[in-house]
């Protein structure tokens, strides 16, 4: 068996399916905001595995919850109740204001469940013509065929068609949504902040306009908060900034702090749409993932991480705005909410190259929307960590 980093990289080259573009090192462990590779190099993690590692790495509450649950009960299937899952359902409904939750294992699965919920809701009400979804250009909702159909970016869709049952409107254009609302529309699906599309917040007033349009046309309003949810923007849901409630919301990513879990939350009026046998998941809601998510939510509340995301988000926004001004020649803009923000580089800048140089200097970020360098750090990040990331980027931009 391969033991050192070089041998493992050779194993990757020979055996891993080559659908990703990993850099040439192997991560071995982490603590707080840092991760280390097998050769002992340390990296500041300001991406959190794409907005997943809510509590950073090795948080004692999360590791203890996982270890204790692993020793107690890992899996029973949904033929039976399990305790952490019921406690998690209670906590999620309390924090979110929703009444019902269905558990699955990823964001994509939560989206699939939400699309099925919408169709089946109208089917049961005898409105069988309602099966279309209005979604948005530049959105990302996942990679299975249903989630891909609602995704509004050619780079994810090309070659996988036919993808049907959806109409894409320009993000932020309420008049275009209104025009798309034919009687066959079951739901409007929206990311309040388009994450993969480039960390683009909906323009003010757009989400309330969608709520009004959906209500007037008798359609559902579905929120994808997979990237923006679980406190990242300073509120549990990004939707809350606009004072709007969706009929159902998909969560995943940050919910398990790194342990795979997805959730579909919905209002009581939708609780009959997926009766026994109509939808399910072998692993969804298993005790291990549930115990992890419960620990994440407990720490989120007890350590005030949402308030922290709001406060540090203001600091990060101010620093990135200043960076954009200083490097106007290379930076088009900076935007985002809370601890989900992006620096958008101008087209002449090699964004991937810059990301690599940052990484070589020991700072991890991810790309969003092609030219965007995305900050999505653990919510336990310190101001000094954010400053370190921005300072490194500043130094690299100076050298361009």
**350 is annotated as an active-site residue:** no
Is residue 17 helix, strand or coil? coil
Is 140 a catalytic site residue? yes
Q: Rule CB under 6 A: choose which of 226, 274, 342, 368 binds ligand PLP.
A: 226
**Looking at 65-73, 74-82, 136-144, 281-289, which segment touches ligand PLP (CB under 6 A)?**
136-144
227 near ligand PLP, judged by CB under 6 A:
yes
Is 136 an active-site residue? no
Q: How far apart are the C-alpha atoms of 81 and 84, rounded to whole Å?
A: 9
Q: Which is nearer to ligand PLP, 266 or 324 (CB)?
A: 266
* Rounded CA separation 99/171 (Å): 29
Q: Is 249 in the site for ligand PLP (CB under 6 A)?
A: no
Candidate residues 98, 102, 140, 375; the one interacting with ligand PLP per rule CB under 6 A: 140
162 upstream amide cis, omega within 30 of 0: yes
Strand partners of residue 367: 373
Residue closer to ligand PLP, measured from CB, 89 or 263: 263
Closest contact distance (angstroms) between CB of 53 and ligand PLP is: 14
Is residue 142 close enough to count as binding ligand PLP by CB under 6 A?
yes
341 binds ligand PLP (CB under 6 A): no
* Rounded CA separation 329/145 (Å): 40
Task: List C-alpha distances in Å: 363 to 46, 240, 258, 356, 386.
Answer: 7, 31, 19, 9, 10
In sequence order, which ranges of the chain are alpha helices (DSSP H)?
Answer: 5-15, 48-51, 60-72, 83-96, 107-124, 145-150, 154-157, 174-180, 206-216, 287-302, 305-326, 351-360, 383-398
- Among candidates 333, 319, 291, 367, which has minimal Cα distance to 91? 291
Q: How far is the CB of 146 from ligand PLP (least distance, A)?
A: 12
Which residue among 140, 206, 239, 375 is the active-site one?
Answer: 140
Query: Is residue 224 a contact residue for ligand PLP (CB under 6 A)?
Result: yes
Catalytic option among 45, 98, 206, 224: 224
User: Site residues (CB under 6 A) for ligand PLP?
Assistant: 50, 106-108, 111, 140-142, 191, 195-196, 224, 226-227, 252
Task: Give catalytic residues, as residue numbers.
Answer: 140, 224, 253
């Amino acid at each position: 068996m391969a033991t050192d980093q070089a041998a493992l990289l050779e194993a990757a080259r020979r055996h891993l399916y080559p659908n990703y573009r990993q850099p040439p090192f192997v991560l071995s462990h982490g603590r707080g905001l840092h991760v280390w590779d097998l050769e002992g190099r340390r990296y500041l993690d300001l991406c959190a595995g794409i907005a997943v590692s809510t509590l950073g790495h090795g948080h004692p509450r999360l590791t203890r919850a996982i270890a204790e649950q692993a020793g107690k009960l890992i899996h029973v299937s949904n033929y039976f109740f399990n305790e952490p899952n019921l406690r998690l359902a209670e906590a999620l409904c309390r924090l979110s204001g929703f009444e019902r939750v269905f558990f699955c294992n990823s964001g994509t699965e939560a989206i699939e469940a939400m699309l099925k919920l919408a169709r089946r809701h109208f089917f049961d009400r005898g409105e069988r013509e309602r099966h279309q979804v209005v979604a948005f250009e530049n959105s990302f909702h996942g990679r299975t065929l249903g989630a891909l159909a609602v995704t509004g970016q050619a780079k994810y869709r090309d070659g996988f068609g036919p993808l049907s049952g959806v109409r894409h409107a320009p993000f932020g254009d309420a008049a275009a949504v209104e025009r798309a609302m034919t009687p066959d529309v079951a739901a409007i699906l929206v990311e309040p902040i388009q994450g993969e599309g480039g960390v683009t917040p909906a323009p003010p007033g757009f989400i309330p306009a969608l709520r009004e349009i959906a209500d007037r046309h008798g359609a559902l309003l579905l929120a994808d908060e997979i990237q923006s949810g679980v406190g990242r923007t300073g509120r549990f849901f990004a939707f809350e900034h606009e004072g709007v409630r969706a009929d159902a919301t998909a969560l995943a990513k940050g919910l398990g702090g790194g342990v795979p879990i997805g959730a579909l939350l919905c209002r009581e009026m939708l609780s009959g749409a997926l009766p026994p046998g109509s939808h399910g998941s072998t692993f969804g809601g298993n005790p291990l993932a549930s115990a992890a998510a419960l620990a994440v939510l407990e720490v989120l509340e007890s350590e005030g991480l949402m308030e922290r995301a709001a406060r540090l988000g203001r600091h990060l926004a101010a620093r990135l705005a200043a960076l954009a001004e200083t490097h106007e020649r290379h930076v088009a803009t900076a935007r985002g909410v809370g601890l989900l923000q992006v620096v958008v580089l101008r087209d002449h800048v090699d964004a991937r190259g810059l990301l690599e140089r940052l990484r070589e200097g020991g700072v991890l970020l991810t790309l969003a929307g092609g030219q965007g360098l995305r900050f999505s750090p653990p919510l336990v990040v310190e101001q000094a960590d954010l400053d370190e990331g921005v300072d490194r980027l500043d130094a690299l931009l100076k050298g361009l």
